[in-house]
Amino acid sequence: MHTLDEYTSMFSPSSNSSSTICMYILEFDCNLTREIVELVDREADLLNRGRSPKTMEGLRKRIASMFLVFIETPEFN
């Protein structure tokens, strides 16, 4: 079961939240998880193209809020 503490630690400045998120959601196949994976892939692509991590704040907040919905959904726990 995922906890709010895990969620909070994943989105701390020192964490690599993208790989951690994918670890949790890849075992589930639904619209929510596919959309999260798409956003994580978009973040990785932008970073690989040289985009500054500071410019990703909005995208990362969107990923974080969608992941919170995921971990709060009983069928995924």
Give CA–CA dist 17/14, Å, rounded. Answer: 9
pLDDT of residue 37: 92
Average pLDDT over all residues of the chain: 82
Contact predicate 2/77, CB 8 Å:
yes
pLDDT above 90: residue 23:
no
pLDDT of residue 1: 46
- DSSP-assigned letter for residue 27: T
State which amino acid sits at residue 64: A
Encode pLDDT of 28-61 as tens digits. Answer: 999 999 999 999 999 889 989 999 988 988 998 9
Predicted structure pTM score:
0.76
